[in-house]
Each structure stands twice: as C-alpha cells, then as structure tokens.
Amino acid sequence: MTQKIVMKVQMNCQKCQTKALTVAAEANGVNFVGLEGAEKDKVVVIGDGVDAASLATTMRKKVGHTDIISVAEVKKGN
C-alpha cells in the first residue's frame, strides 16, 4: 500500500531543511521526499509501508518538533 504522509516540522534554517529531508529519506520504504507549504515547513513522504509514527519520532529526535498532518493512501490512476 503506497501512502502519502505530510508532517509539519520546525525548521529554522536551510541546514535544518536538508537534515529533515535526509532523515525522512533514510526510512524504510520511502520512494519520494519533498517540501511543501509557503514556508517550506511541511515534509511530504511517499512510500510503501512507511511507519508514520516512528518516522515522526525520529524527526523529533534529530530535527525538531514534528506534527503529523495527514496520512493518506495514494491511488494509482489507470
């Protein structure tokens, strides 16, 4: 099951954004990582079987305060 996870992460500088993307990319099953939002404060992760709770915990430990905004299944169009 491919899912899209959107998390709001407290990032104060460019280095923090890079670290957040790196931490998210290291998680098992991740296919895509990107930034969203006007202030580039939302990390978007798309992948198969990604554990949103453990990813958020890891982000809190290594980057800063993290809130899970949404977890949704990605449906592939025909």
Q: Give whole-number Cα distances, 25 to 1, 18, 78, in Å.
A: 18, 11, 28
| pTM (predicted TM-score) | 0.90
What does the pLDDT look like over 9-58, one tens digit per residue? 999 899 999 999 999 999 999 999 999 999 999 999 999 999 999 999 99
Percent of the chain with pLDDT over 90: 91
Kindly indicate the confidence band of residue 76, based on its pLDDT and cuts at 50, 70 and 90: confident
Q: For CA atoms 42, 26, 5, 33, give the dihedral sign.
A: positive
Q: For CA atoms 8, 51, 56, 29, give the dihedral sign.
A: negative
* pLDDT score of 75 more than 90: no
Please choose, from the candidates 32, 33, 31, 28, the residue with its C-alpha nearest in 3D space to the C-alpha of residue 43. 33
Contact 9, 43 (CB under 8 A): yes
